[in-house]
A and B are shown apart, each in its own frame.
Chain A
Amino acid sequence: MADVAVRQELAGGSLPARDILTLLAPSGVRREDPALECDLDAGAAARLWEAMVIGRRLDRAAVALTRQGELGVYASSAGQEACQVGPVLALDAEDWMFPTYRETVAVVTRGVDPVEALALYRGSAHCGFDPRAARIAPSATPIATQALHAVGFAMAAARTGSSVAALAFLGDGATSEGDAHEALNFAGVFRAPCVFFVQNNGWAISVPIEHQAGNVVLAARGAAYGIPALRIDGNDVLATYAATRAALARARSGGGPTLIEAVTYRMEAHTTADDPSRYREAAVLDAWRQRDPLARMERYLRDAGVLDDARVASVTAEADERAARLRRALQDAAPLDPLRLFDHVYSAPTPLLERQRAQLADELSRMEP
């Protein structure tokens, strides 16, 4: 079990998980690792692959829709599909997840309609889906705040005796923020049933990981908080699934939090408003393309005999259709009422807000043709 290996490392006082745990080599060859058990057979694992294919297609569509003016900005998770899909499909129905702005694919994987998942980026709503129904907190734009929310939620769940666990998504950049420290510290002290899933994609906008962390092994921080930690291959969806699954199980059974560092790479710009060619060489991407999460999974599933050309074609067609539906929905959407701007500022609007709202309404009434 991951737990055992990590505890041994902790007991030894050494840095945990120097090695990156992998269950599926970039070549598509399945490996066993005593520190990480995966109970999925190839047939069940195909669902992970399908979700990644659909997620990547929708991600690409969102980038294009930004270039077409349908979205204001978008943060792509291209290349990080294994981190978007694995942890989400490891959740139980009752669990909650706390995503950042880069988790659009994760939110969609949990079952939210892409149009609702992208409302934040269209500027049409702060959160386009019902958090309670989806059991997903609104995607956090401030860095690392969601980690505190997740810990608070998890502590509350534990107090009420429920067996619900929280899954907090973080980026490597978030681990440089004070909020991340506070969240990890609280979780460690109070044994909160919370899983911290850190996608170490190498970049905090334009700042590389080695300029953010004195020790670039982010999993090493678990020891300081008394939190079991492991470092996994973030482009291996079996590893992201298995590690999260085991950590959630431990959280639900009273075993406390886990820190998972998934080593991956941001293949696209930070957001569509960023130009990475100004701070990194394109040549780096070639090495990471060899580690593509989808390609290795497809090879594994084909070798296992659960995937053939027909199924690849049908899943690809399904992904294309979902992308087309998303495009049509955004292109056909009615313009928003600007007055909605005031709707959710305060539960009871202040006099100043009321005045501003009236001014805007007045302006609009005189502008309409």
Chain B
Amino acid sequence: MEREFRLPDLGEGLTDAELVRWLVAEGDRVEFDQPLAVVTTAKAEVELPSPYEGVVTARYGQPGEVLPVGATLVRVESGDGTAPAASAAAAQGGGSAAAVLPGEPARSGGADERATPAESGPVLVGYGTGHAGATGRRRRPVRPGHPATTRRVPSAPLARSDAVPETTPVVSRPAPAPAGQGTAGAGRRTASPLVRRFAREQRVDLALVPGTGPGGLVTRRDLEQWLAAAANGAEVPAAGATGAPVSQGAGAVAAPAAPGRGTGLETALGTVPETSGDAQVLTGAARVMAARMALSHREVAAAAAWLEVDASQLLDVAKAWAAVWPEEAGGGRTARPPTPFACLLRLVVVALRAHPELNAHFDGRSLRRSAAVHLGVATQTDRGLLVPVVSHAERLDLAGLTRATADAVAGARAGTSRPDELVGATFTVSNYGALGADGGVPMVDPPQVAILGVGRIAPRPAVVEGQLVVQARCQLTLTFDHRVLDGAAAAGFLVDLERLIRNPVLAL
């Protein structure tokens, strides 16, 4: 018989999950617990194992789509005819959730109603790890695409003593309210302690943030969207005023979404929607970038130093490697010879050894230097800016570093990086030169304390021993967190790095 598997609540109170990719196709034969799909929730990316064995007769949803809990994921024809009709627990919205609130439509089973899961109640064990990029941890779901959704509520209140007015009608807004309409009753806003702390850390006055939760409750997502809008340069109301951070229409996205490094012009232009009617809610890497850049801008006392260097030796070294490469490749070490950028990374690692204060984490109170160099490499991908990490770069020789960097960048571009391969950098390099820029001032990615920006290598005039000559030159910018580093540290690093670039033999 044919049975359906519906998306369960995967994290004690989640209301939706984003489909990342399918692991089976229609017509595939699956076994019990065989992974069907990868989904990502506010809490974790997980594989969904099949509760049935049989043949997949239908699958629903495209990668990137956000599916509500209870939505049918797949149908499986088991061909046995002995088992019951449907996955009972999943149909109820998962585990403990089902029985609690009778007023919820979870039991009625209409297609649209299934989009609204039952109240999950308090978290049973632990609290998960909701951080930046959280989606959907709301008590009340918002159905995308509906301009405003008025929930039906039980005719008789269930628990009058409940502090949160669960049973009063709630109007949910999928997008922040248009400016002006916004939130009556400025001043103190209701929010959970977690959200209040998040607001404090981000130095945001919660009175400015429109709440979409019950009774105007400001949810974490509200705050994140507000921050993302702020980071994107959208108009944010000044203190005292209330309203939506993203004004409706084209104006909301006219400001380039490029506060940071390496965001190409076409990418910024690409975020302008064709029609002017809809604000675009950031998702995925774009939202993470917005939150991280906003954090950097608020927390880090950013200062920069720069130096233009003669990069001829980098080109020569890369050329020398390329010339001998066929034999070396026979040894099976790496697929491609070191690029000038890889040579530069190797010299950066060497220079960091002499300047360990730059290879560190600072959490606002304590500074922790790292013996290991975990090198972040800012990478432009189809999904936006990602920073894959080459871990233990200090243990790699030039060939190893070349391969590790290529692997990390390829993984980020292909979307196959594991989450732990995208975090933990102790120092980051942004090669915006590859995008054609001469120079720039990259943003420090906290808790790191410095980032090196690398400009385009191009023939430029230079004065050598009183003579004007043409050299392959490159501008290096070091942005550093002035809370813990000073100009002497930054300049010292750049000068040492320049010495190494001019004479890479010193790195041997």
Chain A interfacial positions (CB closer than 8 Å to B): 61, 64-73, 75, 101, 120-123, 141, 205-206, 269-275, 277-283, 324, 327, 330-338, 340-341, 352, 356, 359-360, 362-364, 367, 369
Contacts and interface: CB of A to CB of B under 8 A. Distances in A.
Given A68-B48, A331-B84, A331-B87, A275 B158 contact: no
B46 A359 contact: no
B88 A333 contact: yes
B126 A270 contact: yes
B49 A72 contact: no
Given A69-B87, A282-B420, A359-B157, 5 more contacts: A68-B48, A69-B6, A123-B99, A272-B10, A331-B83
Given A72-B94, A331-B51, A367-B102, A274 B8 contact: no
A205 B126 contact: yes
Interface string B1-23: 00001111111100000000000
B95 A123 contact: yes
A364 B45 contact: no
Interface string B234-268: 00000000000000000000000000000000000
Interface of B: 5-12, 32-33, 43-51, 83-84, 87-90, 92-100, 102-103, 107-108, 120, 123-129, 131, 154-159, 161, 391, 418-420, 423-424
22 contacts: A68-B8, A68-B90, A69-B8, A69-B51, A69-B95, A70-B51, A72-B12, A72-B96, A73-B12, A101-B125, A122-B95, A205-B129, A273-B12, A273-B123, A273-B125, A275-B128, A275-B419, A277-B420, A281-B424, A331-B89, A359-B158, A363-B155
B88 A341 contact: no
Main secondary structure of the interface of B (DSSP, over half): loop
Nearest 7 A/B pairs, CB to CB? A123-B96, A69-B8, A72-B95, A275-B44, A69-B90, A273-B11, A338-B99
Nearest to B374: A281
A73 B103 contact: no
B125 A141 contact: yes
Contacts of B92: 335
Interface centre among B6, B33, B154, B159 (most CB of A within 10 A): B33
A274 B10 CA distance: 10
Of listed B43, B100, B418, residue having the most chain A CB within 10 A: B43
A297 B92 CA distance: 42
B44 to A, nearest CB: 3
Contact of B9 (A69, A269, A278): A69
Contact of A67 (B10, B83, B123, B125): B10
B370 to A, nearest CB: 13
Given A121-B95, A269-B44, A369-B108, A73 B124 contact: yes
B154 to A, nearest CB: 6
A122 B89 CA distance: 9
Contacts of B126: 205, 270-271, 273-274
A360 B43 CA distance: 32
A324 B102 CA distance: 32
A296 B50 CA distance: 31
A49 B12 CA distance: 33
Given A73-B125, A141-B125, A369-B108, A67 B96 contact: no
A336 to B, nearest CB: 5
A369 B11 CA distance: 30
Contact of A359 (B87, B108, B156): B156
Contacts of B103: 363
Contacts of A69: 6-9, 51, 87, 89-90, 93-95
B84 A141 contact: no
Nearest to A123: B96
B420 to A, nearest CB: 4
A332 B84 contact: yes
A324 B32 contact: yes
A338 B51 CA distance: 25
Contact of A338 (B49, B102, B418): B102
B102 A277 contact: no
Nearest to A60: B33
B186 to A, nearest CB: 35
A337 B107 CA distance: 12
Contacts of B129: 205-206, 274-275, 278-279
B98 to A, nearest CB: 7
A69 B419 CA distance: 24
B49 A68 contact: yes
